[in-house]
Chain A
Amino acid sequence: MTSTRKIRVLIAKPGLDGHDRGAKVIARSLRDAGMEVIYTGLRQTPEKIVFAALQEDVDAIGLSVLSGAHMRLFGRVLELMKQHQLEDILLFGGGIIPTEDVARLKQMGVAQIFLPGTTTEEVIEFLQKSIKPKA
């Protein structure tokens, strides 16, 4: 017998940046949309984030970066996901990220980058469309 479970999302703030307004609004909106959300809190290393994703068996990881360190932080998370064979987890993100870097991040394997002005509805729809809940 199979029962569909709720979409599980890890929202994380990697690096030293403390601007968590966006991460918190997204976490709450996804929760209000019926998803299970784990928010890591501030200043998580990529190692801790990927470990938490593994532990919590999530469908998606959302990273919020406003500090300009996005290339390095997303890159490191992707590398660790590959190492732990977690490529089936959807990696997305948001923050202050120049458009050229958005293209580069997508090439590297980031599913979507949401820029300032995105509605929470767009993020919810994106996750609902991209994630097939595991049995």
Chain B
Amino acid sequence: MPTDRRTAEQLTRKKEWEEGILKQALEYLPEREIPFTTVSGKEIAPLYTEEDLQGWDSNRDLGFPGEFPYTRGIHPSMYRSRLWTMRLFSGFGTPEDTNSRFKYLLASGQTGLSVAFDLPTLMGIDSDNPLAEGEVGKCGVAIDTLEDMEILFDGIPLADVTTSMTINAPAAILFAMYVALAQKQGADIRKISGTIQNDILKEYIAQKEWIYPPRPSMRLVIDSFKFCAEYVPRWNSISISGYHIREAGSTAVQELAFTLRDGIEYVQWAIDAGMNVDEFAPRLSFFFDSHNDFFEEIAKFRAARRTWARVMRDRFHAKNERSWLCRFHTQTAGCTLTAQQPYNNIIRIAIQALAAVLGGTQSLHTTSLDEALSLPTEMGAQIALRTQQIIAHESGADNTVDPLGGSYFVERLTNEMEQDANDYFRRIDEMGGMVAAIERGFPQREIQEASYRYQRALEAKKKIVVGVNEFATEKDYVVPIQEIGEDVAEHQKARLAKVNRQRDNRRVSALLHELRETAKTDRNLLPVMVEAVKEYATLGEICDALKEVFGIYQEPNF
């Protein structure tokens, strides 16, 4: 066959080159004495050629954009038809503060909203809970009741924007508030669109904002899948997230493998709960990190699409092509930002953002240069958005689909990523699935090891971080930072007290009782949650009611 002959010729040519011109050159000028590895510690060869793609079949493994296995992208024309959504995550202080940041971002040309909640909200506790001391409004916006959501989206019609909400353990409740607010605004909930993160498995693995044990938490996730499938069909009921896994110190392969294996777990649980795979799988979405190692990241994104398509078609026998698509949001890696010489972060973010675009992301959050110091300032957020606009409108990266497709190096890395992810799938399958693996601490330990190895590599200067372990300066340029005062907590507590006085407390108690009773059955919890939030039951009250039935999670020691 001609291709075999060509490969054989190539092999001979490569050997000649290695033993001839390369060897001579290295005698004169040897390679630098550094490890040529990715940021994840993967060895990279000096040159990639056709021989690195033996067994690779461009029709089978690459295909065309918009076609199985989607290596080149989920849309046939990608950014030529529609640019990625520029979606900056924001939220801080009171709902009023965040509402004005949202309006500012929409006016600056941002195309979707993304809400960051404060830690008490993420943990399902109200602003007046003693455990919330010092944390109200710090890492995001504080939401206690529907009234806070009404203020958060004041003047923003939910029928016209798409909203992403980064919320997990209490995701169903915040989603119930969003649905209730959309109904109050008169929007058709069959048409509203957005995403709730709702990915509880990565909380146990990496982000660690859990409330209930894994099994009842999985039930809440599946209840929201069912509710969305029936009433809010354009809503993405989950964003299966590798971002936090990576930020906790995993390698690129671990991020890919654990995220997709979490995806497999959700699909399996939904099928086990009686759903048809094609009923919910088209609404699954993903969320990845874009780290510093440019080519490794691009390969990871491409491998994610191909691996997921194969899983959905071959493992779960999904028939609807939309079920095969790995649609994803990307965020540039917050953990790569340095507090030292903070302006350098703009460059890191630009490189990471470009990798996400060349990897074919559907939406992108660029972090702000000041995030190793504080929450983003308005200036930081604007530079971050401008970075995406420069890539979109000046760099030319949008002109053609999958510009790196067919690169020996990128295709080889993509293949290896997929293989390594499949190896992890096998190990986790053998443990009885991801919930079981988490209960044994497997992914948690793998990440801890990787993060420790990376720290050692930094300290041995096997990996360089500019401005930190090399090229440090005595004096850094100062960037302005965003401060959140303690008055946010007072403001929230006062509003919460007012809401609690004005609502119908008998009705709220009756609904909380109904919620507990529903939790004991296998009936869907979402409809009663929507009723309860409409009566201004607080987030903390609803979470506490469920704690009585579900219990709370304690992390085992590993």
What is A's interface to B at a CB cutoff of 8 Å? 15-21, 24-25, 28-29, 41-42, 45, 67-69, 71-73, 96, 98, 115-117, 119-121
Residues of A within 8 A of B340 (CB): 117
A116 with B372: CB separation less than 8 A:
yes
B119 with A17: CB separation less than 8 A:
yes
Interface CB pairs A-B, < 8 A, 25:
A15-B134, A16-B131, A17-B139, A21-B248, A21-B335, A24-B451, A25-B249, A25-B455, A28-B452, A29-B455, A42-B208, A45-B131, A67-B119, A67-B135, A67-B139, A69-B133, A69-B134, A72-B133, A96-B374, A98-B373, A116-B338, A117-B340, A119-B458, A120-B455, A121-B459
Residues of A within 8 A of B208 (CB): 18-20, 42
CB of B375 within 8 A of chain A?
A: yes
Q: How far is the CB of B54 from chain A (nearest CB, A)?
A: 39
Residues of B within 8 A of A25 (CB): 249, 451-452, 455
Residues of B within 8 A of A20 (CB): 208
Question: Given A45, A72, A96, which contacts B373 in the complex, CB threshold below 8 Å?
Answer: A96
Q: How far is the CB of B288 from chain A (nearest CB, A)?
A: 18
Q: How far is the CB of B408 from chain A (nearest CB, A)?
A: 35
Question: Given B138, B139, B448, which contacts A24 in the complex, CB threshold below 8 Å?
Answer: B448
A69 with B135: CB separation less than 8 A:
yes
User: Mostly helix, strand, loop or mixed at chain A's interface?
Assistant: loop
B452 with A16: CB separation less than 8 A:
no
A119 with B469: CB separation less than 8 A:
yes
CB of B468 within 8 A of chain A?
A: yes
With A21-B247, A68-B374, A96-B373 given, name 12 new contacts (CB 8 A): A16-B131, A17-B139, A19-B208, A21-B249, A24-B448, A24-B451, A67-B135, A96-B372, A117-B340, A117-B469, A119-B469, A120-B459
Residues A42 and B372 in contact in the complex (CB < 8 Å), given A21-B248, A28-B452, A72-B134: no
Count class of interface residues, chain B: 35 or more
Cα separation A24 to B339 with both chains bound (whole Å): 20
B459 with A18: CB separation less than 8 A:
no
A18 with B207: CB separation less than 8 A:
yes
Nearest neighbor of B556 in chain A, beta-carbon distance: A41
Nearest neighbor of B451 in chain A, beta-carbon distance: A21
Residue pairs across A and B with CB atoms within 8 Å: the count is 84
Residues of A within 8 A of B139 (CB): 17, 67-68
Interface centre among A19, A20, A67, A120 (most CB of B within 10 A): A19
A73 with B134: CB separation less than 8 A:
yes
A116 with B339: CB separation less than 8 A:
yes
Nearest neighbor of B138 in chain A, beta-carbon distance: A68
Q: How far is the CB of A22 from chain B (nearest CB, A)?
A: 9
Residues of B within 8 A of A45 (CB): 131
Q: How far is the CB of B134 from chain A (nearest CB, A)?
A: 3
A16 with B465: CB separation less than 8 A:
no
B248 with A117: CB separation less than 8 A:
no
Cα separation A25 to B555 with both chains bound (whole Å): 18
Q: How far is the CB of A27 from chain B (nearest CB, A)?
A: 10
Q: How far is the CB of B485 from chain A (nearest CB, A)?
A: 11
Question: Given B135, B484, B557, which contacts A16 in the complex, CB threshold below 8 Å?
Answer: B135
Q: How far is the CB of A20 from chain B (nearest CB, A)?
A: 6
Q: How far is the CB of A119 from chain B (nearest CB, A)?
A: 5
Q: How far is the CB of B131 from chain A (nearest CB, A)?
A: 7
B209 with A98: CB separation less than 8 A:
no
Q: How far is the CB of B274 from chain A (nearest CB, A)?
A: 33
Interface residues of B in 346-391 (CB under 8 A from A): 372-375
Interface residues of B in 81-135 (CB under 8 A from A): 119-120, 122-123, 125, 131-135
CB of B481 within 8 A of chain A?
A: yes
Cα separation A98 to B479 with both chains bound (whole Å): 11
Residues of B within 8 A of A21 (CB): 247-249, 335, 451
B138 with A69: CB separation less than 8 A:
yes
Residues A119 and B459 in contact in the complex (CB < 8 Å), given A16-B120, A16-B135: yes
